[in-house]
Amino acid sequence: MERDEEAVECYDKAIENDPNYADAWFNKAMTLEDLGRSEEAEKCFFKAEELDPMYMFF
């Protein structure tokens, strides 16, 4: 779980550097789901889908 929190921080930095980085949004969402933070994850999933419609299928 500690590594998941670190991963979220890394995804936040990647998103800060490039807010249009769909993979970072998606990976952050997946990690948040693993942490049980579903509401936050859902927002990230929607952002990833907005940036890249490929993520609509996840």
Q: What is the pTM of this model?
A: 0.91
* Structure-token match 């990690």, residue found: 31
| CA 33 to chain CA mean position, Å | 9
Domain of 53: which CATH number? Answer: 1.25.40.10
For residue 33, the enclosing domain spans 2-57
Q: How many domains does the chain have?
A: 1
Residues 21-40 have pLDDT tens digits of 999 999 999 999 999 999 99
* Structure-token match 């936040």, residue found: 12
18 neighbors 24 (Cβ within 8 angstroms): yes
Share of the chain above pLDDT 90, in %: 90
